[in-house]
Structure 1
Amino acid sequence: MTAPQHWTASDGVDLVYREMGEGRPAILVHGLFSSADMNWIRFGHAAEIAGRGFRVIMPDLRAHGDSGKPHDPVHYPDGILARDLAELVAHLGLDDYDLGGFSLGARTTVEAVGRGLKPGKAFLGGMGLGGLQRWQRRKHFFLEAIAQFDTSSRGDPHWLSIQFMKTMKVDRAAAALLLDSFVDCEDGWLGAFTMPTLVVLGTEDGDNGSGEELAAALPDGTFRAVPGTHMSSVSEAEFGRAIADFLAASP
């Protein structure tokens, strides 16, 4: 695994990111209950993008991976992940970079751009328009999964999410606090995506609505389908290749 690099957020929480490659910075944000290693390194996506001439920067979000997992609600105000992302950009001194993420990482990218970040290109993986508009409902689904962590059985709607949480050794107290900080997409956030933006979604991924609708709602959106469900698409080589192709293409 690429060695973690530590930095301190404005509220004192220790956060981690990993890097691979050299060239134009590209920030990749992982999904809920996951990590930079699981979403970007393990299945070769970071190496694919780095191989196209990029400095790939992969944060572990607050309450995830090797980053801090505080249990005090004061560390989870509304919009905290977008704030952390903006602070990381400032910490690294980046003024020309690309940005995107998968699932929660896509949602965080939308909020961060909506609140002022201006990447040269953006990508939104595992996300459709409905997922952004109904994130409160998704949030409560995952809060229910945490509550049923020790009682859910195979076949229950929350069972697969719970198994993933167990695999990732999720800190449930920190995760629940973080989930409470999520809000639905605000008016104007999508309109802030004036940069070329790729929406990439699995052909069997219906978890977060239509990727085609999301791409159409963006000022400069493009849609690309890749094989898989929400859980499996991010493990497919085509997922990382689609992002690498998009980022490396001439404007």
Structure 2
Amino acid sequence: MPSVVSDGVTIDYLDEGEGPAVLLIHGFASNRMVNWVNTSWTSQLKRAGYRVLALDNRGHGKSEKLYDPARYRAEMMAADAIAVLDGAGVEKAALFGYSMGARIAAFAAVAAPDRLWALVIAGLASNLIAGIGGSESIAEALEAPSVEDIPDEAARAFRVFAGQTGGDRQALAACIRASRQAFSAESAASIRVPTLVVAGENDDIAGSADELAALIPGAKALTLPGRDHMSAVGDKLHKSEVVAFLDAARL
């Protein structure tokens, strides 16, 4: 797989298919394989006529691991996404982020609006603005000697997931401890590319897709019936609606 150096950090990425480019940005403690390849997103997008780029975020997958929370600020990770476009020779792409990746995609859309032709914000909706707590408990769970030592159920789930994805738990703890810069309603209102906001009906992490979409000019919202944060990722309706949105945006 190709890689690019972004601000001194090596970022590994996948680059497959032909057509308008779509850059996929995965969620916390995941990686491009788990979030996008194993869920058939990459194959479906390629069949639909898109060139698919999917990076491993810094600290994740095959990208460089960092252990200082200051190296995981949102604007730095957004710059990594744009650096992948540069490395791949892509002038404009649709950015599609899930959960933490949605936050990164939103920051990239504000920082480099000329590099996007569309934006999909999924797995993080109104809580992109409102914020999400529990970062320190998740970091402590990642650093705990064993799963049995973690009393917080939600934090324990992240520890188990990190084990399933083969994540570097120390790097992930640094990532989750990073200072969370606010993404304001004003920032959302400044987005000018076609935007789709997606969240599962039962996803307490994401919040409301309708509420975030209402802040972004012309944005559309999709709520996935009966889906939570984990089950929304590979949902069939999710895939078909994203492809239809991209097809319309590329016209």
What's the TM-score once normalised by structure 2's chain length? 0.89
Residue 174 of structure 1 aligns with which residue?
171
Moved more, 56-65 or 91-100: 91-100
Classify 1:140/1:20 alpha carbon distance in 2 versus 1 (closer, same or farther; 3 Å): same
Q: Please report how far the alpha carbon of residue 73 of structure 1 lies from its aligned counterpart in structure 2 after TM superposition.
A: 5.5
Residue 237 of structure 1 aligns with which residue?
236
Does the CA-based 8 Å contact 1:79-1:182 persist in structure 2? no
Does the CA-based 8 Å contact 1:26-1:57 persist in structure 2? yes
Residue 57 of structure 1 aligns with which residue?
53
- 1:88-127 matches, cutoff 5 A: 88-118=84-114, 119-127=116-124
Does the CA-based 8 Å contact 1:45-1:237 persist in structure 2? no
Residue 249 of structure 1 aligns with which residue?
248
Does the CA-based 8 Å contact 1:29-1:100 persist in structure 2? yes
Classify 1:164/1:112 alpha carbon distance in 2 versus 1 (closer, same or farther; 3 Å): same
Q: Please report how far the alpha carbon of residue 16 of structure 1 lies from its aligned counterpart in structure 2 after TM superposition.
A: 0.5
Residue 198 of structure 1 aligns with which residue?
196
Does the CA-based 8 Å contact 2:73-2:181 persist in structure 1? no
Q: Please report how far the alpha carbon of residue 206 of structure 1 lies from its aligned counterpart in structure 2 after TM superposition.
A: 1.8
Moved more, 227-236 or 90-99: 90-99
- How far apart, CA to CA, are the structure 1 residues paired with 2:68 and 2:80? 17
Structure 1 stretches of 4+ with a deviation exceeding 4 A read: none
Does the CA-based 8 Å contact 1:18-1:58 persist in structure 2? yes
Does the CA-based 8 Å contact 1:40-1:46 persist in structure 2? yes
Residue 156 of structure 1 aligns with which residue?
153
Classify 1:48/1:64 alpha carbon distance in 2 versus 1 (closer, same or farther; 3 Å): same
Q: Find the partner of 1:128 among 125, 134, 137.
A: 125
C-alpha root-mean-square deviation of aligned residues, in Å? 2.1
- How far apart, CA to CA, are the structure 2 residues paired with 1:24 and 1:117? 17
Cα deviation digits, residues 22-80 of structure 1 (max 9, x gap): 10011111111001111111111111111111101000100011111033566445622
Residue 63 of structure 2 aligns with which residue?
67
Classify 1:149/1:34 alpha carbon distance in 2 versus 1 (closer, same or farther; 3 Å): farther
Code of the aligned partner of 1:236: D
What's the TM-score once normalised by structure 1's chain length? 0.89
Does the CA-based 8 Å contact 1:120-1:195 persist in structure 2? yes
Moved more, 201-210 or 106-115: 201-210
Which structure 2 residue ranges, 5 or more long, are not aligned?
none
Question: How many matched pairs?
Answer: 245
- How far apart, CA to CA, are the structure 1 residues paired with 2:145 and 2:186? 36
Does the CA-based 8 Å contact 2:138-2:156 persist in structure 1? no
Does the residue aligned with 2:54 lie in a helix, a strand or coil? strand
Code of the aligned partner of 1:238: L
Q: Find the partner of 1:188 among 186, 189, 196.
A: 186
Cα deviation digits, residues 170-221 of structure 1 (max 9, x gap): 2122122222143221453212311110011112212121111011111121
Residue 143 of structure 1 aligns with which residue?
139
